[in-house]
C-alpha cells in the first residue's frame, strides 16, 4: 500500500506541468506508463488477495490498463493515458486514502 501512495505522488509529478507538456515529452509519457503499470499490477495482487475494492475503485480497470500498456505499447493513445492519469488515478487516490495512509506510530523512529 505504501508503494501505491508513492506512485500516486509520482503521477502528480508526471502531470504537474500540464497536458501540453505531457503530450510532447516522451520521457514524461514513459514515466506515466510505468506508474499505471505498477498501479495495475498492485490492483491485480490485491484482487487475488480478495481485498474488497472501496467504492469507486474497480481492480479490473487498473489491471486492464496495465495489460493494454504492456501488450499494446505500439498503439497507446496519449490523450487516453492523460485522462487516466488526471481523472482516474486521483479518484483512486482519494478512494484508497485510508488504505495507503501511514499510521502515526509507523512514521516515528
Which among 2-6, 14-18, 46-50 has the top mean pLDDT? 14-18
Phi, psi of 76 (to 5 degrees): -70, 130
Per-residue pLDDT band at 101 (split at 50, 70, 90): confident
Instruction: Please tell me the distance from the alpha carbon of residue 47 to that of residue 41, in angstroms, as a whole number.
Output: 10
Cell numbers for 63: 489491471
Helix axes 2-15, 26-48, angle to 10 degrees: 160
pLDDT tens digits, one per residue of 52-98: 888 889 899 999 999 999 998 888 999 999 999 999 999 999 998 88
Of 103 and 77, more confident: 77
When mean pLDDT is compared across 45-49, 76-80, 97-101, the lowest value belongs to: 97-101
Instruction: Please tell me the distance from the alpha carbon of residue 39 to that of residue 15, in angstroms, as a whole number.
Output: 16
Instruction: Please tell me the distance from the alpha carbon of residue 51 to that of residue 86, in angstroms, as a whole number.
Output: 25
pTM above 0.85, yes or no: yes
Contact status, residue 24 vs residue 102, Cβ threshold 8 Å:
no
Amino acid at each position: 500500500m505504501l508503494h501505491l501512495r508513492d506512485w500516486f505522488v509520482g503521477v502528480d509529478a508526471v502531470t504537474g506541468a500540464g497536458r501540453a507538456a505531457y503530450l510532447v515529452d516522451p520521457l514524461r509519457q514513459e514515466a506515466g506508463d510505468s506508474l499505471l503499470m505498477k498501479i495495475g499490477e498492485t490492483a491485480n495482487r490485491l484482487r487475488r488477495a480478495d481485498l474488497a475494492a472501496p467504492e469507486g475503485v474497480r481492480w479490473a480497470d487498473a489491471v486492464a490498463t496495465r495489460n493494454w500498456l504492456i501488450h499494446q505499447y505500439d498503439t497507446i493513445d496519449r490523450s487516453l493515458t492523460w485522462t487516466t492519469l488526471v481523472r482516474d488515478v486521483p479518484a483512486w487516490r482519494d478512494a484508497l486514502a485510508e488504505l495507503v495512509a501511514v499510521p502515526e506510530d509507523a512514521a516515528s523512529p
